[in-house]
Amino acid sequence: MQRFMSIWFPHLLAEGMIRRRKELSNTAFVLAAPDHGRMRITAASIAAQARGIYPGMAVADGRALAVGLQVLDHEPGMDQKLLTALGHWCIRYTPVVATDLPDGLLLDVSGCAHLWGGEEKYAADIQNRLKGLGYTTRIAIAGMVGAAWALARYGKEPVVLTPSGEERLFLMSLPPVALRLEATIIERLQKLGLYTIGHFMNMDRSILRRRFGVGLLERMDQALGWKEEPLTALQPVEPYQERLPCLEPIMTRSGIEIALQQLLKILCERLIKEGKGLRKAVFKAYRIDSEVQQIEIGTHLPSQQPAHLFKLFELKIDHIEPALGIELFILEAPSVEKARSSQKTLWHNGTLNDSRLAELLDQLTGKLGKGIVHRYLPAEHFWPERSVKEAQELQEQPATAWRNDRPRPVRLLSVPEPVEVAAPIPDYPPMHFRHRGILHTIKKADGPERIEREWWIDQGQYRDYYVVEDEKGERFWLFRLGHYTGGKPHRWFLHGFFA
Amino acid sequence: MGQTDMIAGLRQDILRMQGQRLVTGPSAGKVALGPVLEAFPGKIFPTGTVHECISATPSAAAAASGFIASILGSLMQNGGSCVWISPERIIFPPGLKSFGIEADRVLFIHLKKEKDICWAMEAALQVEGLAGVVGELSNLDFAVSRRLQLAVEKSGVTGFVVRHQPRRLHPTACVSRWQITSQASYHPDGIPGVGFPCWEVELQKIRGGKPGSWELVWMDGCFQELSRASVISSQAIFRKIG
């Protein structure tokens, strides 16, 4: 059985303004925006409304009614901003929250209310807490979005709870406006003397369609639950998510740790049952002052080990600032993959498939930052800088074998360093070279090995590589850039060190 | 029981108390260091401990990398993987192939701060089943080396600390201290050009063993002592020329 809650904020903009600027409370002020060449009031505070000032009036009229009326600029999009923030705050009550412009929120509260001890206490709790934030609200819970919307705005009580199936009775006495109709249809209904929904609810549908169009029928169906009305949730609900509401606000590290361990246990049990493991997890803490704190971890292999995941989170728990207390913890797994069975690892002791190795990498990246672990695979390029490529996955296998048919140094400078060289004859290895002020006299040499620059990747000169050994037995990889050209000096570089 | 047996038994006890196990498992005796093995207790390369290697120049660092890579190559023979932690990307993976390492099984970790390298190295040494862990850092104080030693005592992983241009050489808790220097390359047939790499391997310190110095050549995937005969013959050639 589905249950929906509609929350109406009758003074959303005015109260939002007071929340921002405390000195405005209990003063008569209005928000106004230019409209057709004059300033029109878009929202009025309760004190201003008491003096007969209503939204839609011209500012000049308002000034006439109340001396010293404060006029503030209407900020476009402010309602959207306020509602989104309030919607995020409401996620502590239900995962599916949608904004309902211009002044309401819609919540899918199916299966949530019993956690607060029934719908009555649930609605009262929300209303009290919103009041604490400074918002006046009217709340209705019904089996349909349309009915809840209507009863929140036009119901007799500030909180209306409608048992499922009885919405019809409650709706009968409401005015047609409660059906969210267009102004022209409402006007037409009024002219015909249809002042409540009950007056036309039982009329023949074909007559209603002919007189008022399909819009009216659609809205009626939505209010009566004959037609589905989907909500667009502010935050899409993660399929792998666990929630832990707390009776008392949590303020201590050990409290957070206990909550995290419980959530990890539940989530991992579910993952094990489904044969899956998580690659990314987000732990969110909802504070009582409507702030959300979150920490995130990633793993190299799909993991379903609560102990390991806890170890990763443990490094970051310091980043959660509980302030006055945390009332709700949510653990989400946005990225879940199929886990390989843990039995397999018995046969891969110490290899890259070992989950212990993946756990080590998670620990390292968790503490020291991403992008520090590199694994290289052979790439089919002769150009030394491009002869290796970085592996994307821990499991990725090399497509080709590593080659050792050509001499390659064990240490390679990422940027070749220029050296001064004396070379006797074209294409001969140099006699000696000077690197960082030290003169190396060459005793033995191999080469040249010409490596062409891959013209389809970048332009430039080729390199002639020489393996040389100096008088002390140190071995180097030198290259001359480009062709031998008579009198012109050549550019030589040191690129690597052989063992 | 003879006196020599008793002394040998007592030596083993001392080694055990020092946190060094004589390896008898499947990895025992896999590292073929040729004549250098004589220096180790039990004539077996001590795995499951931390070794220290000193280098002063970039080419000495390359020699040290090559020497360690050759040891790692034999430790990784059964498909194991290893972790190589360094401040920047300098090891060239294709160059490791000639030392028997499939470079795709090496995880390179680049960290700027020495403190982070120490932390990462300790964490890696605790992972049972890794073939080896190499850390490149210049300074290693006694407390850190002790932590590394404690980590390997539990897990049995072999660690190598490559210290490039160390500021001071304090005593450390490492089982050995090596210094590798390049020597003129060698070719058995005297073919011109650069031959097989040769190193002067100096074992300055070894717990429970005898330090020494050897000239080794890395040829055909194993170490051989640079044979006296070939040295003499090359000298003979010089004499003939002279």
What is the spatial distance between Cα A349 and Cα A357, in angstroms, rounded to a whole number?
A: 10
Q: What superfamily does domain A241-342 belong to in CATH? A: DNA polymerase, Y-family, little finger domain (3.30.1490.100)
CB < 8 Å to B59, chain A:
474-476, 497
What is the spatial distance between Cα A471 and Cα A440, in angstroms, rounded to a whole number?
A: 7
Describe the strand order of the beta sheet including A70-73 as a list of residue ranges: A38-44, A29-35, A70-73
Nearest to B226 by CA among B205, B201, B191: B201
Q: What are phi and psi of A408, to 5 degrees?
A: -130, 135
Considering only CB atoms, B95 lies closest to which of A377, A408, A443, namely A408
Q: Which residue of A has its CA nearest to B187?
A: A444
pLDDT tens-place string over residues B195-217: 888 999 999 998 888 899 988 88
CA distance A369 to chain B (A): 10
Interface check for B142 against chain A (CB to CB < 8 A): the answer is no
Q: What are phi and psi of A54, to 5 degrees?
A: -130, 155
pLDDT of A338 reads 82
Place of tokens 């919540």: A107
What is the spatial distance between Cα B64 and Cα B162, in angstroms, rounded to a whole number?
A: 7
Task: Give me A326's structure tokens.
Answer: 């945390």
DSSP-assigned letters across all residues of B63-113: HHHHHHHHHHHHHTTTS--EEEEESSS-B-GGGGGGGT--GGGEEEEE-SS
This model's pTM is above 0.80 = no
Contact state of B62 with A378 under an 8 Å Cβ cutoff: no
pLDDT tens-place string over residues B173-183: 899 999 999 98
As a whole number of Å, the CA-based R_g of chain A is 36
- Tell me if A238 sits within 8 A of A88, measured CB to CB: no
Mean pLDDT, rounded, for A470-486? 84
Domain-wise residue ranges, chain A: 4-161, 167-224, 241-342, 411-498
- Tell me if B150 sits within 8 A of B175, measured CB to CB: no
Contact state of A409 with B92 under an 8 Å Cβ cutoff: yes
- Between the CA atoms of B99, B101, B107 and B111, what dihedral angle is there, to the nearest 10 degrees? 0
Bridge partners of residue A478, in order along the sequence? A466, A494
CB < 8 Å to A408, chain B:
92, 94-95, 97-98
pLDDT tens-place string over residues A204-243: 888 888 888 888 888 888 888 778 878 787 777 777 888 8
Question: Is residue B162 pLDDT above 90, yes or no?
Answer: yes
Interface check for B26 against chain A (CB to CB < 8 A): the answer is no
Describe the strand order of the beta sheet including A4-8 as a list of residue ranges: A96-100, A104-108, A4-8, A138-142, A159-161
- Tell me if A227 sits within 8 A of A143, measured CB to CB: no
Interface probe, candidates A385, A478, A497, chain B, greatest B C-beta count within 10 A: A497
Place of tokens 């007189």: A211
Task: Give me B238's structure tokens.
Answer: 């010089």
CB < 8 Å to B99, chain A:
410, 499
Interface probe, candidates A353, A410, A415, A435, chain B, greatest B C-beta count within 10 A: A410
**B202, HSE (Cβ side, Cα atoms, 13 Å):** 10
pLDDT of B242 reads 34
Nearest to B152 by CA among B182, B183, B131, B180: B131
pLDDT tens-place string over residues A4-28: 899 998 888 888 888 888 888 888 8
Question: Is residue B52 pLDDT above 90, yes or no?
Answer: yes
CB < 8 Å to A355, chain B:
none
DSSP-assigned letters across all residues of A100-147: ETTTEEEEE-TTTGGGGTSHHHHHHHHHHHHHHTT---EEEEESSHHH
pLDDT of B136 reads 92
Task: Give me A35's structure tokens.
Answer: 């409209």
Q: What's the maximum distance between 2 C-alpha atoms anywhere in chain A? A: 111
Q: What is the CATH number of domain A4-161?
A: 3.40.1170.60
pLDDT of B159 reads 93
Please count the other Cβ atoms lying within 10 Å of the Cβ belonging to residue B171: 9
**B189, HSE (Cβ side, Cα atoms, 13 Å):** 1
- Give the SS3 label for residue A178: helix
* Burial call A457-472: b when 16+ CB within 10 Å, e when fewer: eeeeebbbbbbbbbee
Task: Give me B72's structure tokens.
Answer: 């790692």
Bigger pLDDT: B5 vs B24: B5
- Tell me if B161 sits within 8 A of B174, measured CB to CB: yes
Domains and CATH numbers, chain B: 46-241 (3.40.50.300)
A167-224: what fold? DNA polymerase; domain 1 (1.10.150)
- Give the SS3 label for residue A155: coil
| DSSP, res B53 | E
Q: Which helix (H) or strand (E) holds A368?
A: helix A355-368
Interface check for B109 against chain A (CB to CB < 8 A): the answer is yes
Mean pLDDT, rounded, for B50-57? 91
pLDDT of A318 reads 87
Mean pLDDT, rounded, for A44-67? 84
Interface probe, candidates B27, B92, B186, B201, chain A, greatest A C-beta count within 10 A: B92
